Amino acid sequence: MNYTAGEIAAIVCGKLCGDSDLVITDARGIDNATPSDISYINSREVLKQHRKCQAGVLLIQEDLADAVEAIEFPSVIIFVADAEQSFLHLLETANPQKMRPSFGISPEAFVSPTATIGEGTNIFPGAHIKDGVTIGANCDIHVGVVIGEDCRIGDNVTIHPNVVLYEDIEIGNRVIIHATSVIGADGFGYRLENGKHIRIPHYGTVRIEDDVEIGACTTIDRAKLGATVIGEGSKIDNLVQIAHNCEIGKHNIFVGQVGLAGSVTSGDYVVCAGHVGIADHVHLGTGCVLGSKSGVPKDVPAGETYIGIPAQPVADAMRMMMAQRKIPEMRTQLKELKKQVEHLTAIATNSKNEVSNTSLHAA
């Protein structure tokens, strides 16, 4: 990156306040930006936390102008409608994507003569495309990818190195699958017979709909019967496990190390933060949010935010956490109360004995 502040203001269509000739050579986060960097602020909270920001140029949202005047940043400021979006647009302008190569099928790849490969698709060296596979147009099948028999892949799909698609998997259009993910392995299902765990066969498939992105090292198991489904537009992070017969709605977000047991279903726009675990046959309602490390044993209503183990509404969980913080103090109080009770019990016992002795003497 090598832009003047004036050039940046033109790129992001912003209002410049400060030296238009100041040269910026890099972009950094707000915490470690230097005078030769550009960064951005998109909330009043961030603005308050970074009163001494060293960035040479700051992109700041227009609705924060009053707060900026009170703080008086030394940086050059460019006011924009959406600071984060403008920052990303600048990065894209400074780092244009490389042209996609077009070489077709590498002679070092294996492609079955019964496979159908669409126009403009690249098959990289070491890829292995088995019998009956259909791949659409303008796809990139990278090094070491294995695509099993009778898989069906749409247009503009990118499958990164060493991904494995088991047989009979359906992938929609504009799907991205990152390295070493495994789609379509059998689910974890066994019956106990005569003291042995007997494997339950899985005859179903996996269907991944349009515009899904699947992170590296993620596993999505095939259904026992029917299909495990990942809904349109859903984004799945690295190291996520989705078990057999799960049916995920549209535009879900699953962050790293989320684990779904068998037959979990979800509505649209569900968010699972990192390390969430969900029990089998649970339904996640449309728009619900599960906080990090939540353990979910039962259905979550639409639009609710749940946290904790077991997961519960966030207000209830916060009350419980606040109560837990008081446990050390409560233990101290309980010990003191125990001493007081023992002392009062001793006094009462002595008084009772004295009354009894007085009565005997009187008799």
**How many residues would you count in the chain?**
363
d(CA 223, CA 243): 8
Question: Residue 332: CB partners within 8 Å, gap ≥ 6?
Answer: none
* 3-state class (DSSP) for residue 136: coil
- With 0-12 / 13-18 / 19 or more C-beta atoms within 10 angstroms meaning exposed / middle / buried, residue 197 is exposed
Q: Count the Cβ atoms, other than its own, within 10 Å of residue 176.
A: 16
**Is 275 one of the annotated active-site residues of the chain?**
no
For 17-28, give one letter per residue: b (16+ CB within 10 A) or e.
Answer: bbeeebebeebe
Question: Out of 178, 244, 275, 283, which one is annotated catalytic?
Answer: 244
Distance CA 270, CA 284 (A): 7
User: Count of CB atoms within 10 A of residue 38's CB?
Assistant: 28
* Bridge partners, 62 (sequence order): none
Name residue, tokens 């308050």. Answer: 48
Structure tokens at 201: 């066969």
- Pairing status of strand 283-284 against strand 271-272: unpaired
Read off the tokens for 76. Answer: 């050059």
Nearest of 114, 105, 109, 149 to residue 127 by alpha carbon: 109
- At CA 167, angle to CA 162 and CA 169, rounded to 5? 85
What residues are paired with 159 via a beta bridge?
A: 141, 177
User: What three-state secondary structure class fits 188?
Assistant: coil
Instruction: Read off the DSSP letter of residue 280.
Output: T
Q: What is the DSSP letter of 156?
A: S
Give catalytic residues, as residue numbers. 244
